[in-house]
């Protein structure tokens, strides 16, 4: 029983020691001297600036697109799903050669915009056809002749 208790305490102490070394950023260099451990954090804080790494913006890739008779300039770097949801007509009118230069995600965004644009145009065409058929089916108003002598003249 005492051996089991001693073994459990030793195992627990090893886990706590390993977690403490990992949390403090223990070195992998193999140098376990106290001087190396105290000098390492000072060296890293002095050489590593506390800035977040951000990627620089890519240069703009502007293309001209004609949408509903209006010429528009589109930055291909800005073509994303939210952009194509707001500007379905713009994304759907991009040329295939421009779409090939986009990222795979942007290419899918353009494909979805083209589907939405085709559905919109189909709905508009169906509504226009229904309105045309309604006009054809509606009887033309026949002018009624007034009997003589009832006119105001």
Written as tens digits, the pLDDT of the chain (153 aa) is 777 777 777 777 777 767 666 666 655 555 555 555 555 555 555 555 566 778 888 888 999 999 989 999 999 999 999 999 999 999 999 999 999 999 999 999 999 999 999 999 999 999 999 999 988 887 777 777 777 766 665
Instruction: Answer yes or no: pTM beyond 0.75.
Output: no
SS3 assignment for the chain: CHHHHHHHHHHHHHHHHHHHHHHHCCCCCCCCCHHHHHHHHHHHHHHCCCCCCCCCCCCCCEEEEEECCEEEEEEHHHCCHHHHHHCHHHHHCCCHHHHCCCCHHHHHHHHHHHHHHHHHHHHHHHHHHHHHHHHHHCCCCCCCCCCCCCCCC
């Amino acid at each position: 029983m005492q051996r089991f208790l001693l073994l459990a305490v030793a195992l627990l102490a090893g886990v706590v020691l390993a977690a403490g070394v990992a949390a403090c950023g223990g070195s992998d260099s193999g140098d376990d001297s106290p001087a190396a451990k105290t000098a390492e954090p000072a060296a890293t804080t002095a050489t590593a600036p506390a800035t977040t790494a951000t990627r620089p913006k890519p240069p703009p890739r502007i293309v001209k697109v004609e949408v509903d008779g209006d010429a528009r300039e589109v930055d291909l770097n800005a073509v994303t799903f939210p952009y194509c949801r707001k500007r379905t007509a713009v994304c759907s009118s991009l040329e295939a050669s421009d779409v090939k230069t986009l990222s795979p995600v942007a290419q899918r965004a353009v494909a979805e915009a083209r589907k939405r644009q085709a559905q919109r145009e189909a709905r508009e065409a169906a509504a226009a056809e229904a309105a045309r058929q309604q006009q054809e089916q509606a009887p033309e108003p026949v002018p009624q002749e007034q009997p003589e002598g009832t006119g105001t003249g």
